Amino acid sequence: MNFAISGISGRMGTTIYRIIHQRGHSLHAGFESPASPFIGNDAGLLIGLNGVNKHVSEINADKLKGADAVIDFTSPSATMILLESAVSTLTPIVIGSTGFDDAEKKLIFESAKRIPVLFTPNMSVGVNLLFKILEKAAQILPDGYDIEISESHHKFKKDAPSGTALHLLDIVKKNSPHHANAKAACSREGMIGERNPDEIGMQVLRGGDIVGEHTVYFVGMGERIELSHRATSRDNFAMGAVRAAEYIAGKNAGLYSIEDVVGLK
């Protein structure tokens, strides 16, 4: 297959390109921000290949045309530009970016009426299994457990809490009859008094090269349950994104998730 990558020179972009090459696919186009120093360079150099004759460019509908799918790991503003090009060229899109506001999410959902859109907060199969396990835990555990969510990422990540952490919060609220109206507590400081039973703590750590760690704590009197996922390599996320692109290529318009790809639904 021929895939395009938006954010091709980034940490995820180069990993995705390497896996695309390893799986026998070809690079259709590689996109970057206008200010990127890689604009105009042969994209193959990003993963040690010579002469692939695909040059990194700004997002461009003409260059996107004909791709089997495009994989996006950029920023919300860049994703919106790419989404417009994908709709105009009827190109399936895998969105791995996070940090979207409600208006941007609405545009993503509207676009899925025109093209196949795979939109998920995390491309890892392991994380999506965590989502499923959390659904059951939230449904089964009785009232009396305080719930806290923590997430850790590298110091370059721009949004907080992570999209995955916010999705974990959403799963708890949708599945726990005791926390449907709970408020997220993203900051605690000073004499705050006893813990409010109607809150779910959201704690964020940023530092170094942490790939991604997420834990949901169910803390009761006399016991604690911890559901965790720790990534030690970006390869899991990149492989999930490439499998997602393989999956939605040729599909009908609609909204898909990684659960469709790995059969977790």
- Give me the pLDDT at residue 192, please: 92
Q: Is 265 a catalytic residue?
A: no
Helices (H), ranges, 145-197:
163-175
Q: Does residue 161 have a cis peptide bond before it, meaning omega lies within 30 degrees of 0?
A: yes
For residue range 56-79, what is the model confidence (pLDDT) as tens digits? Answer: 999 999 999 999 999 999 999 999
Q: Is 157 a catalytic residue?
A: yes
Q: Which of 21, 55, 65, 157 is catalytic?
A: 157
Q: Which of 25, 28, 54, 153 is catalytic?
A: 153
Look up the CATH number of the domain holding residue 216.
Answer: 3.30.360.10
For residue range 201-242, what is the model confidence (pLDDT) as tens digits? Answer: 999 999 999 999 999 999 999 999 999 999 999 899 999 999
Q: In this structure, are residues 134 and 110 in contact, taking their beta carbons and an 8 Å threshold?
A: no
Residues 250 and 223 in one domain: no
Range of the domain at 10: 2-123+234-262
Look up the CATH number of the domain holding residue 103.
Answer: 3.40.50.720
- Give me the pLDDT at residue 264, please: 74
Q: In this structure, are residues 58 and 209 in contact, taking their beta carbons and an 8 Å threshold?
A: no
pTM: 0.83
Residues 182 and 83 in one domain: no
Residues 47 and 112 in one domain: yes
For residue range 92-121, what is the model confidence (pLDDT) as tens digits? Answer: 999 999 889 999 999 999 999 999 999 988
Residues 225 and 199 in one domain: yes
Q: In this structure, are residues 201 and 179 in contact, taking their beta carbons and an 8 Å threshold?
A: no
Residues 140 and 29 in one domain: no
Q: How far is CA 106 from the centre of its chain?
A: 17
- Give me the pLDDT at residue 98, please: 87
Residue reference for tokens 């994703």? 79
Residues 11 and 118 in one domain: yes
Q: Domain total for the chain?
A: 2
- Give me the pLDDT at residue 223, please: 97
List, edge to edge, every strand of the sheet that includes 183-185.
Answer: 183-185, 199-206, 146-153, 212-219, 224-231
